Structure 1
């Protein structure tokens, strides 16, 4: 098969450095012989079109990117939002960097389709005025803006946020390009844009754990009007913007008028029974025991040492996500990952013949044709 001449080796090396991978790792990941890359770096024709396409897909670039002879401009390749996150966490893994760019691409797909089929019913992002407010005051305002009732779970919080013109993605529990690896410390990130910001939440063992991350990221978007990427340490920060986002999330999820529902007299002596003590509130509010305990601690109803003891006990359990190998509902995975707003938009574009079936498959995590039809049937029945 004919080998392509004119591939720019400097652009290939830039991609390797950008993602933090070696030439050997790229060869292994793409299943292309290392000798081909040695010829590429020597300026010799070395790759077939299909091989170059595999490399382009691996780096999240187009084929033509590697044929341009000009130097790479980082500002032209990476968005300001991407560079903000990369600067916050310089040690980001190649998988996380690729995920950020993939999320940006999906946002572009959504906006393009939305603008083509918009009949005036799509929500636009118009954040509430929070300048000068404390995190508590901002949370009260944001809760009213979202129209939240007393009982919620991750899905209802997600719908409320999407109804205000944002997108909420959740990483997949299965190994693949939409997964945040279990060993990764990253719990979520947000991409601020004046039009349609995006929140990405790492899938965890319990929905309640994801809820706090969701609202933490919302706090960054609404209060700080900035992009952010956060790990477990950030979720327990006691200063700066991370502490403000934590306080915002806590007050939004558990307002002061919720706290009288908890009886201090019934608090167990053993922290191992705190989950049972708070089970009713956890279920009704869709939050973890830890969020409630932090709010009680902030209101001087729980000593800090008991909160710390609970966290130590909880962390020792090493809870893992059990959502593993059964993919019998593969057609519903795009809904879980991208959210209802995004999926409905793709299906509307498909039914209106604005995109082809193959395009719809690619926009919906490369679903097979039969799974797209199953997904259409799922929505027809809702």
Structure 2
């Protein structure tokens, strides 16, 4: 058996920083490496050091960091979720899973790509946030109407919204929001209770939503995060309202405001009133099918419709919570198994980012390696992804 030789030059502080920034405990790292906790602790205290093979596993498999970072004199400056996001209590932010932390890191990388590609300036002459000024102290309906009008989407119930499953509607909302200067990404969150998050930026804001949910739930999450962007508030959000109740009053007010704005954009009060005018004041006796029919008109989840009734005092809070709990068990979207990497990547990436990268790559302004770095794929995958993207635009 070959002797394991500790690697000289590895900084113990970097090992601890990388583990903590990945939201992993000593016990979790020891378990994944099949080592004693005391051995991992010795690496981080400087009493011992990992071998090259062990450091590779730590870097590439567990912490998702470049190998060279562990030889730096001190950890690089990088915001922690507890300092970066304000829409979840600190205890919830500290419990974010390793996979969620990596998705946030990936979104930051996409945003850095956008800053480099567009020289730090929005490619939109008059982006959405320069046309819309949301204010939590002002009435919801007129502000939501301005957002909807600025996005230029069809009226509720129009044929352009596609089927009731929300697939075409999600694409339409996403395209309209990207046309307004917000870059929209998706991914499958293993921490399923997270609905999405946004990274605010004065010129190049980024939103990432959870593809594990149904399309209608993704639509609401998207509009919720856009509301955060428009008030300049970085946020990570959940499907569950429970964390909201643990926030300080000011943050609670902002989260409720973003929920209300999203609901009003999707289900305008005036149109909704005309659709439910013939229903009794108390609608708790309505069947799930009636709620579903209303949800289908607006391409939203039944919960959004139920929330509209609750806000109008047409169902009790207890009824709302019971039905929401019942329907929450049905919120998970269908995930394909063994699907095409290129179809998935194309659906997850911002269309405007891909369009810019492939335009520059086609004009040979950037190399295949640079194109791969910008969109987070391997160089050998760039040409096929470009081909599929261009075919999709031509379809």
- TM-score of the superposed pair, with normalisation by structure 1: 0.80
Once the two structures are superposed, what CA deviation does each residue of 1:57-90 show, in whole Å capped at 9, x if it has no partner?
Answer: 44243333211224x36xx222799633587423
Per the TM alignment, residue 261 of structure 1 is displaced from its structure 2 partner at its CA by: 4.5
1:207 Cα shift?
A: 0.5
Q: 2:10 aligns with which of 2, 7, 10?
A: 7
Q: Is the 8 A contact 1:170 1:338 kept in 2?
A: yes
Q: Does 1:104 align with 2:108?
A: yes
Q: 1:163 aligns with which of 158, 161, 179?
A: 179
Structure 1 residues 250 and 377, CA gap change in structure 2 (3 angstroms): closer
Structure 2 Cα separation of the partners of residues 306 and 34 of structure 1: 48
Match of 1:324 among 336, 340, 345: 336
- Size of the alignment, in residue pairs? 365
Paired position in structure 2 for 1:65: 69
CA 1:43–1:363: 2 relative to 1, 3 Å:
farther
Mapped contact 1:167–1:198 kept (Cα < 8 A)? yes
Aligned position for 2:166: none
TM alignment of 1:330-369, pairs within 5 A:
330-366=341-377, 369=380
Q: Does the aligned pair in 2 maintain the 1:135–1:245 contact within 8 Å? A: no
* Map of 2:384 onto structure 1: 373
Whether the aligned pair in 1 keeps the contact of 2:284 and 2:315 (CA below 8 Å) is: no
Secondary structure at the aligned position of 2:142 is classed as helix
Is 1:143 the counterpart of 2:142 in the alignment?
no
Separation in structure 2 between the aligned mates of residue 20 and residue 337 of structure 1, nearest angstrom: 24
**Does structure 1 conserve the Cα–Cα contact (< 8 Å) formed by 2:21 and 2:80?**
no
Please state how far the C-alpha of 1:358 moved relative to its aligned partner.
3.6
Corresponding position of 1:177:
none
Aligned to 1:227: 234
Residues 220-253 of structure 1: CA deviation (Å, up to 9, x unaligned): 2213x11011112348958521111111111111
Q: CA deviation at 1:339?
A: 2.4
Listed as ranges, the gaps of 5+ residues in structure 2 are 162-168, 246-251
Match of 2:204 among 196, 204, 211: 196
TM-score by length of structure 2 reads 0.77
Give, in angstroms, the shift of residue 37 of structure 1: 5.5
In the alignment, the residues of structure 1 paired with residue 6 and residue 363 of structure 2 have an alpha-carbon distance, to the nearest angstrom, of: 41
The alignment partner of 1:77 has SS state of coil
Q: 8 Å contact 1:32–1:51 — kept in the other structure?
A: no
